[in-house]
Amino acid sequence: MTAPLRTGDPIVVNVALGARAYDIVIGRNLLASLGARIAALRPGCKVAIVTDETVARHHLAASEAALKAAGVACEAVTVPAGESSKSFRMLERVCDALLRARIERGDLVVALGGGVVGDLAGFAAVVTRRGVDYVQVPTSLLAQVDSSVGGKTAINSSHGKNLVGAFYQPVLVVADTALLDTLPPREFRAGYAEVAKYGLLGDSAFFAWLEANWRDVFAGGPAREHAIAVSCRAKAAIVARDERETGDRMLLNLGHTFGHAFEAAAGFSDRLLHGEAVALGMSLAFEFSARRGLLPKDDAARAIAHLAAAGLPTHVSDVPGGWPGVDGMMDLIAQDKKVSRGRLTFILARGIGRAFVERDVDAADVRAFMAEKLSAR
């Protein structure tokens, strides 16, 4: 990407969904404007902030102060940090808290946190009183470029990740890039996998820009905001074309079929963060594509080398600990949401920036590939 980097005014990306369109506002130090934005969007509303214990320590007080300064009454609902909070038990806890706080259909839920909080709070908003609107305030890089945009809400099941959920768009996304300054380096790296994904799936120029500028993205400043804005524009365009993932939106799952299987096998734990699983999954998807003769091996090597340079896992052996056998991994792959009538669907690639949906992939080919990767440890 050759667009000039800039500082100053927030960048606004619109998600064009007709009557359900909303803005993604991107920039530093936007949290202080949260109350004013909500008061203008929904005058007289009450707010329930759903957050986790870690984010609450860093950003809850500032969020509450911003709301109260704008005359917006608010209450907080706090859940434990980590993927384990995307559960039926925590969904019940959040819904009960929203009802106890007397959140009505004209009020708002604010999801203050990373992807776990956004998915959980969004799904709680879907089912409470048959639908309460919500605002995303993503506090991780992964959430700012991916999970806060597009209206996917979900919790996990023992059968796999995000298998219980609904499409439900937010009414506003406020992506304060200053909040990323408190992220542990590992969490930031994991989020970067989703940034690289946009280049790998559909924008070779952006991927080349990332190869040259990824260290500046990690350091912060205009390069970080530029990368986030490009990622959000890419996702907004795809969501506007295919809100409910029946066509083009499947491309956003590049790396996720393999990745979700490894994430589930790791017990949705800190052993393998979601973004790390996506990086591993994208590496496997590019290697599998090359194995099938779909793209040059040099393209696969280039994609894998960039992810590895950023400190992300690209080989099964990069993740400590053991894995189920090939039968167990194939069972997890078969639970992928893109499976149709038992037939496997993968997002593969014909080159950097040229991902496509491959339906009815031969399970025997996947099994042989997985057996090789698992044995390579």
Rounded CA separation 56/39 (Å) = 22
- Specify the residue for token string 């064009």: 16
Annotation marks residue 235 as catalytic:
yes
Exactly one of 274, 306, 337, 373 is catalytic; which is it?
Answer: 274
As a residue count, the chain comes to: 377
The answer to whether 226 is a known catalytic residue is: no
CA 349, distance to chain mean position in Å, is 20
Catalytic residue among 194, 225, 276, 287: 194
Asked if residue 114 lies in contact with residue 139, where contact means CB atoms within 8 angstroms, the answer is yes
Task: Check if 245 is active-site.
Answer: yes
Catalytic residue among 64, 245, 263, 287: 245
Does the annotation count 274 as an active-site position?
A: yes
User: Annotated catalytic residue: which of 37, 161, 260, 337?
Assistant: 260
In the sheet that holds 11-15, the strands lie side by side as 11-15, 22-27, 172-176, 133-138, 108-113, 47-52, 74-79
Answer yes or no: 58 catalytic: no
Residue with tokens 């203008």: 40
Catalytic residue among 161, 224, 256, 373: 256
Distances (CA, A) of 33 to 29, 115, 182, 231, 308: 8, 22, 19, 23, 37
194 has catalytic annotation: yes
**Can 315 be counted among the known catalytic residues?**
no
89 has catalytic annotation: no
Catalytic residue among 37, 59, 152, 337: 152
152 is catalytic: yes
Q: Using CA atoms, how far apart are residues 52 and 41, in angstroms rounded to an integer?
A: 25
Which residue among 42, 64, 161, 253 is the active-site one? 253
- Catalytic residue numbers read 130, 152, 194, 235, 245, 249, 253, 256, 260, 274
